[in-house]
Amino acid sequence: MKKLSIAIFATSLLLYSCANDKKNTTCEMENERIEKDSIILGMDVSHYQGNIIWDDIKKDGVNFVYIKATEGDTFIDPKFEINRADAKKNCVYQGAYHFYVTGNDPTKQALNFTKALGQLDSGSLPPVLDLEEGGIKAPVTKENYQKNTLIWLKTVEKELGVAPIIYTNLYFGIKYLDHPDFAKYKLWVAEYTKKKPKLPETWKNQGWTFWQRTDLKKLSGVKGDIDYDVFKGDAQAFRALLKK
20-52 pLDDT, tens digit per residue, is 444 343 344 433 433 333 789 999 999 988 899
Residue among 242, 193, 160, 212 at smallest CA distance from 45: 212
Rounded to the nearest integer, the mean pLDDT of the chain is: 85
- Give yes or no for residue 84 having a pLDDT over 70: yes
Sign for the pseudo-dihedral over CA of 235, 238, 243, 244: positive
Domain boundaries defined on the chain: 38-241
The reported pTM is 0.86
Higher pLDDT, 225 or 112: 112
Amino acid found at 38 = S
Q: According to the model, what pLDDT value does residue 237 have?
A: 93
pLDDT category of residue 125 using cuts at 50, 70 and 90 = very high
Higher pLDDT, 215 or 82: 82
Q: What is the mean pLDDT of residues 104-127?
A: 96
Q: According to the model, what pLDDT value does residue 1 have?
A: 66
Give strand pairing partners of 93: 64
38-241 sits in which CATH class?
Answer: alpha beta
Give the E-state strand segments of 26-149 in sequence order: 26-33, 40-45, 62-71, 75-76, 93-99, 128-130
Higher pLDDT, 170 or 3: 170
- Give yes or no for residue 7 having a pLDDT over 50: no
What whole-number percentage of the chain has pLDDT above 90? 67
* Beta carbons of 241 and 234 less than 8 angstroms apart: no
Taking every pair of C-alpha atoms in the chain, what is the biggest distance, in angstroms? 50
